[in-house]
Structure 1
Amino acid sequence: MATTVAGSPAPVEQFAADITAARSFLADGGTCGLKASGRRDVGCVISERPSTAAGTFTSNKVKAAPVLVCQEVLSSGAGAQAIVFNSGNANAATGQQCLENGRVMQRLLAEGPGRTHGIAPERVLVASTGVIGVQLDMDKLRHGISALRPSASNGERAVEAMMTTDTVPKTAAARFDVAGQAVTVAGMAKGAAMIAPQMVPHATMLAFMGTDAAVDSAYLQRTLTAAVEDSFNMVIVDGDTSTNDTALLLANGAAWPDGRPPLDGSQPECAAFEAAVRSVCLRLAQAMARDGEGAGKFIEVRVEGASTPEDARKVARSIAGSNLTKAAVLGADPNWGRIACAAGYAEAELDPNKLEIAIGGITLVRAGLALAYDEAAASNKMKGDEVRLYANLHLGDGAATAWGCDLTPEYVRLNSEYTT
């Protein structure tokens, strides 16, 4: 069901769809044997038209080869027209060979599914997710990539091919009107563990997005970077920043009115475009938190009154990522001391004598001191599948929201049995 984006400066409608909802984007996913389960493990996204492209990537110093390949593609400034990806193997930490593997994947896509569209290898972006430190089986990938048949109806297969320990596919779309023409931003993502992205333009979660708007490359990058900062970068499942985190956005102009210049940040339509990109990023990010490995509860942390927006982000991320807070949420224990502790070590300006803390709308702490609150009522606020935590630093106007999930025995079991 479609809904409008609350607070958007321009009418933007959000709905459920994968990347092929944007015009002239095709996708497919297949099986080549990288996963022992036999599930889909290789896929691609293709634009039928040349596209401008933007990306944000992990800040981890141990960067997987696909991240380096993508950075090479984007640094050329010539855009991109396809994404080829695999799951089940991260193509990371295997020496020079993993970089060559990434470039071979570019060539395989260009010579196979991309050939019909005249896609050059250097216009192909690459992504991988899975086990780190194991050599990628290129014989299997050669077969898998060559067998892909991207189409506007195979997006669901591509989403499945991204997934590792994910339990549900993650898609989102939004559209707005330009001169009577519907323009769409749509995307798909994966991520359930090793989730604490800190992506920068030069963040395991993967997100692939496409838009049929015509967008200047520099403005596209600015828009994606800003959207990622308050969406993917504010999700914490377990506090581990992956070697492979990647968010990509391609703009092919397929729905853009003839004669209209590409968006560059100066036109009135930019407000709607930015809102649409934010909407897609935000819903994909929240889906990751809801699908955190072993998670039973979705946590939203709202921080207000910080000295700066960046301080608010630091405190919100710290609380959402606190294992003690996550465990308290699991047990429906309104232990506000754990929230205060996480706020205090967030390396943000904080006066403990001004701190206010609430759980589910019930204020537990004001001016740094506990109030006489109903502990049973506060506990009940933590027993549902969505828990909302709030902190006000009373120092300024900075505000931010982070998302996470509870810490369960199932998370420990999964990560003691599954090699990452």
Structure 2
Amino acid sequence: MITTKINQIKVLENGNIASPKGYTAGGVHCGIRKTKLDFGWIHSNIPAVAAGVYTLNAFQAAPLKLTKNSIEKEKRIQTVVVNSGIANACTGNQGYLDALETQRLAADKMGIHKDYVAVASTGLIGKTLPMEKIKVGIAEIGEANNSSAENFEKAILTTDTVTKHIGVQVEVEGKTVTIGGAAKGSGMICPNMATMLAFITTDAAIEENALQQALKSMTDCSFNRITVDGDCSTNDMVLALANGQQGNTPLNEHHPDWSIFLEAFKFVCEALAKQIARDGEGATKLIEIHVEGAPTERAAGQVAKAVISSNLVKTAIFGSDPNWGRIVCAVGYSEQPLDPEKVNVSLGNINVVKNGVPLEFDEVKATSYLRNEEVQLFVDLQNGKEKALAWGCDLTYDYVKINASYRT
């Protein structure tokens, strides 16, 4: 297996959700969608310590509420089942009963307690699950011909154009610990979660509270720092599982190797978040916002979110238009402490604003830079030492086409 080393983190070639010891994954076509895979699963050979973060949308979907309840009750998950095509959101009591039935059937299939099953759904809002088709998918869990991480990655997609996965390794107590991840997300993506599902697995042993705190803090600086269109969905969740199969002393914030594990965990979250942003519906460019010189990390993050969420900034990048005025406008309405007469802005390495005043710059060169598939924007507030990143994509004609006919 080929690896790339970044600091102490080894990035695995084709690393995925099943790379850590003791996990399998798979996916099948159960009939919810016309031809594409639409039912997937992850399974740990033993119950894994589990943590979750969830959408802030008030209309939380039935499977999300069920999974949240199970994790709060047991702090363990062994099997995750996911369907695409239908979100099972805004479906009332029947939707919750269907999520419960999905959980029970999956537990029976795997021979485990029902609260050790997490359920997730993504797709069209307002339709109930076709339970006969869900049963077809559940019957296939664990079958050898359907068991592959690639099948799982495909089964959870909706309008995504590519699968999203990552796998890394770090040393903990001299043992090689692996962290794997998979995600879906392309539209309805906004900071505070998105129409996105993300799953992270590790064979490290981690204490319950430490895993929950790690997931929450890393989500805040990764999944909560991406946007495609500013919409916050009903089904978003990120789940993390740690099955302890490497046999290390359970990690917590006092463990001497906690910082290196946390760095690797953050790397996985950021990698998945950037893959989601890059695959925004109709997107042609990944945009990365760097904000520095803020009084607090939160302030830097809020400024970065304001810029990446601006439709005017996103359309300017799509058109390769070096209209820096849209950037400073977004910085100004971020409601964070700043002095307009100190703000600097750059498009890549092209400085366009210094101390709030426009600079003479080569517009042809700037336009050429903005034609790249990856664009970096830099904002320096000169008002502190904290910094933050955010990611998004350009807003294109195809985004409108895709969403104008989503149901038809």
2:189 corresponds to 1:237: no
**Counterpart-to-counterpart distance in 2, 1:147 and 1:101:** 18
Structure 2 counterpart of 1:73, from 70, 73, 77: 70
Relative to the length of structure 2, the TM-score reads 0.96
What is the Cα deviation at residue 150 of structure 1?
Answer: 5.5
Give the structure 1 partner of residue 39 of structure 2. Answer: 42
Partner residue, 1:27:
25
Mapped partners of 2:48, 2:208: distance in 1? 9
Aligned in 2, Cα 1:330/1:368: closer, same or farther, shift over 3 Å?
same
**Residue 222 of structure 1 corresponds to which residue in structure 2?**
213
Cα deviation 1:138-167 (Å, max 9, x = unaligned) = 111011111222669511111110111111
Does structure 1 retain, via aligned residues, the 8 Å contact 2:172–2:261? no
Q: Residue 371 in 1 paired to residue 359 in 2?
A: yes
For normalisation by structure 1, the TM-score amounts to 0.94
2:100 is matched with 103
Aligned ranges 1:64-213 → 2 under 5 Å: 64-112=61-109, 114-115=110-111, 119-149=112-142, 154-199=148-193, 204-213=195-204
The unaligned stretches of length 5 or more in structure 1 are none
The AA in structure 2 aligned to 1:101 is D
For residue 127 of structure 2, what is the amino acid of its counterpart? V
* Match runs of 1:48-59 below 5 Å: 48-59=45-56
2:38·2:84 contact (CA, 8 Å) conserved in 1?
Answer: yes
**Deviation readout 1:228-284 (Å, 9 max, x if unpaired):** 111111111111111111100000011224xxx311221111112111111111111
Alpha-carbon distance between aligned partners in 1 of 2:48 and 2:150, rounded to the nearest angstrom: 22
In structure 2, what is the equivalent of residue 402 of structure 1? 390
The amino acid of 1:134's aligned partner reads: K
Aligned-residue offset at 1:179:
3.7
Deviations 1:332-387 (A, max 9, x none): 11100000111111121122111111101111001111011111111111011111
CA distance in 2, matches of 1:315, 1:179: 39
Offset at residue 96 of structure 1 (A): 1.1
Deviation beyond 4 Å, 4+ runs, structure 1: 150-153
Query: Contact (CA 8 Å) 2:44, 2:79: kept in 1 or not?
Result: yes
Is contact 2:169–2:178 with CA below 8 Å preserved after alignment? Answer: yes
SS at match of 1:294: coil
Q: Would the aligned equivalents of 2:339 and 2:381 in 1 still touch at CA under 8 Å?
A: yes
CA contact (8 A) 2:74 2:115 kept: no
Query: SS state of the match for residue 319, structure 1?
Result: helix
Give percent identity, aligned residues only.
Answer: 42
**Offset of 1:4 from its aligned partner?**
2.5
Distance 2:185 2:117 in 1: 22
| Total equivalences in the alignment | 405
Residue 136 of structure 2 aligns with an amino acid whose one-letter code is H
| RMSD, aligned CA | 1.5
